[in-house]
Amino acid sequence: MRKRKLGSSNLEVSSLGLGCMGLSFGYGPAVDKQHGIAVIRAACERGVTFFDTAEVYGPFVNEELVGEALAPFRDKVVIATKFGFDIDPADGRQRGLNSKPTHIKEVAEASLKRLKTDRIDLFYQHRVDPNVPIEEVAGAVKALIQQGKVKHFGLSEAAALTIRRAHAVQKVTALQSEYSLWWREPEKEIMPTLAELGIGFVPFSPLGKGFLTGAIDASTTFDKNDFRNIVPRFSEAARKVNRALVDRLCEIARQKGATPAQIALAWLLAQKPWIVPIPGTTKLNRLEENIGAAEIVLTPDDLRQIQDAVAGVAVQGARYPEHLQALVGR
């Protein structure tokens, strides 16, 4: 697989990464541990070198899974994880945000152990904590970088001004936020800021939490523990309307001899050379499909056709329920 550098940093990764969250958390029951290891190692064997996890996924168990799966490949891969939540160690319950410098250090030490490694390649603040100045957060990660425990600093779902303030203290290597054909908000302020500062962009949910694959319609039912049950964009009424976007994507995919998921990922890769999407999956066949997107070259005419197709569809429903939407864009 081709490689890309995240912004102006020297952090080089595969052009597509693997979001590992769904193996343990968010979309129904966790997969069997051995199956999860097999998916991660299959990605590695097919050229993926960029793996994304977080302490809150599970919590904790996803980092453990990633650490065990990647142990034989550790020096050939880049592992990203995240801090920023206050998690009760007894029951795993989230108790809000916590980006106090002392807590960041504690999370780093715990993550290093779970990941079975001596360094975190990319350490993101998972969500901006309004109670801790971003300069203090950046300073805490800078200290970890100086100690060799962290290699690069990242932010997730941060506002443009916050990115600038953090970057002034410690260079931000990457921003992770949602971006796809059905969520293009970052194009307004975030992407110009990243381009100016030389920061890479790591889109999560690049397939619209599965919707852009074409496998979901108004009749789809989700597991009781699936996060999408509380997402307004995934209400039955919204899915019925939003299916029009996928239908147009499917038509373009047929013309290119590809799948809608592959076109959605190839479109992201075509936007900027410093964009590295991290689609997640629990299925080996979907992994193969996603990786195939890296070989698809979209011409200017293809990109115009995609733009024209999606411009005619007004996507219905918020991407987060209200209590989670309040945590983004700070």
Read off the tokens for 155. 């932010």
Q: 3-state DSSP helix/strand/coil percent for the chain, to nearest 5?
A: 45, 15, 40
> Cα separation of 150 and 143, whole Å?
9
The predicted pLDDT at position 90 comes to: 85
Q: What is the CATH number of the domain that holds 173?
A: 3.20.20.100
**CB-based contact 154:175 (threshold 8 Å):** yes
Read off the tokens for 235. 């209400």
Per DSSP, helices labelled H in the chain are 33-45, 61-70, 101-114, 134-146, 160-169, 190-197, 236-256, 260-271, 284-292, 300-311, 322-325
From the candidates 57, 124, 179, 320, give the one annotated as an active-site residue. 57
- pLDDT digits 0-9 by tens, 167-222: 999 999 999 999 999 999 999 999 999 999 999 999 999 999 999 999 999 999 99
Query: 2 in the Ramachandran plot: left (φ > 0), alpha (ψ -120 to 50) or beta?
Result: beta
Kindly state whether residue 330 falls inside one of the protein's structural domains. Answer: no
- pLDDT digits 0-9 by tens, 34-87: 999 999 999 999 999 999 999 999 999 999 999 999 999 999 999 999 999 999
Kindly state whether residue 260 falls inside one of the protein's structural domains. Answer: yes
- When computed from its CA atoms, the radius of gyration of the chain, rounded to whole angstroms, is 19
Kindly state whether residue 207 falls inside one of the protein's structural domains. Answer: yes
As to burial, measured by CB atoms within 10 angstroms (0-12 exposed, 13-18 middle, 19+ buried), residue 134 is: buried
Kindly state whether residue 298 falls inside one of the protein's structural domains. Answer: yes
Kindly state whether residue 25 falls inside one of the protein's structural domains. Answer: yes
Domain count, the chain: 1
Give residue 190's domain range.
3-325
> Cα separation of 136 and 121, whole Å?
20
Q: Is 320 a catalytic residue?
A: no
On whether the pTM is more than 0.95, the answer is yes
